[in-house]
Structure formats: structure tokens, C-alpha cells
Amino acid sequence: MKRVMWIGKKSGSLSLVGPAKIGWVEVKEKGKRLEYQKQIFRSLRAQGYKTNFFDMKPGEEYWISGCRNGRDALYNTDVEIDENALEEYWLHIRHMPEHLEKKKFRASGKY
């Protein structure tokens, strides 16, 4: 199953903020494994501090979740949307057709 998801990289072991992407993710093994472009993520058995997946090759930690109504970030961060996910994100998830061409934005965090 494929779905548009929020992929937030956590920079360093104690960092809460890192760059984020929004793109199509292949969900496998009942959500325990995710594939995005050439990256393969594995679910952390015990959820880390604001992390829930790790990239299997370099072992870096990420927060990956389904996109909601624009309140996906915990803290302010820069977001880049993949070209092939623009329509799904802006039309069907955010319901903001006026932003259909917008590939980058600054997400306002919850905190």
C-alpha cells in the first residue's frame, strides 16, 4: 500500500528538529517497514525520543507519520514536497488547491 507521509529526519541523537519531506511511501509488513525512494526504514521496537523509525543503511532516526491538516511538525521546520505528491497533499489532504504548485514551505510546529 502506498500513501503520502511526513518523513522528518532527526539531526543527531538529541535533536528534535530536522529537515522534513512529504512523499509517497510504500508501507510493508503491516507498517513495520517503509520504503521511500531508495531508503528502507524499519520501525523502532521501542519508540525513541520523538522518533519511530530508523533508516536501515546509515541507522539515522526519523519521525514518519501520515500527513494531517498541516499540523505534522512538532517544532518549526522546513518541508519539501515531492513533485509526484503535490496533488495528493494540497488537494486531498490539506484541501488547499491554491497551493498546488508550492513545493516548499515552513511548517509551524505544535510547540
What is the separation of C-alpha 93 from the centre of its chain, rounded to a whole number of angstroms?
Answer: 14
Q: Domain tally for the chain?
A: 1
Residues 68 and 7: beta-carbon distance below 8 Å: no
- Give the residue numbers spanning the domain of 27: 2-107
- What's the predicted TM-score (pTM) here? 0.88
pLDDT in tens, 55-90: 988 888 888 999 988 878 878 889 999 999 999 999
Please say if the pLDDT value at position 45 is more than 80.
no
Strand pairing report for 77-81 and 61-66? unpaired
Which pLDDT belongs to residue 100? Answer: 96
CA separation for the pair 89, 83 (Å, rounded): 10
Selected residue with higher pLDDT from 74 and 7: 7
Q: Residues with Cβ < 8 Å from 99, sequence gap 6 or more?
A: 90
What is the distance in angstroms between the CA of the first residue and the CA of the last residue of the chain? 32
